[in-house]
Amino acid sequence: MIKTSNATVSKALKRLHYPLDIMLTCVRWYVAYPLSLRHLEEMMSERAVSVDHSTVHRWAIK
């Protein structure tokens, strides 16, 4: 059963265009702090990561 879940996770991660740690950081900041999606977009661009606010919103929904 563990192999099946690992295969499922790896299949889902294959489609991602961003590293998982960037995605989780954005979603964590969005949920934990009163930040807008556009503020997160600016914060990530200051860290040399180009991500659109709508992309962060999709991550938060998932």
The predicted pLDDT at position 34 comes to: 95
pLDDT at 14 (0 to 100): 67
DSSP calls for the chain: -HHHHHHHHHHHHHT-SS-HHHHHHHHHHHHHS---HHHHHHHHHHTT----HHHHHHHHH-
Mean pLDDT, residues 15-44: 92
CA distance 35 to 19: 21
Residue spans of the domains in the chain: they are 17-61
Tokens of 29: 């900041």
For the segment 32-36, the average pLDDT, to the nearest whole number, is 95
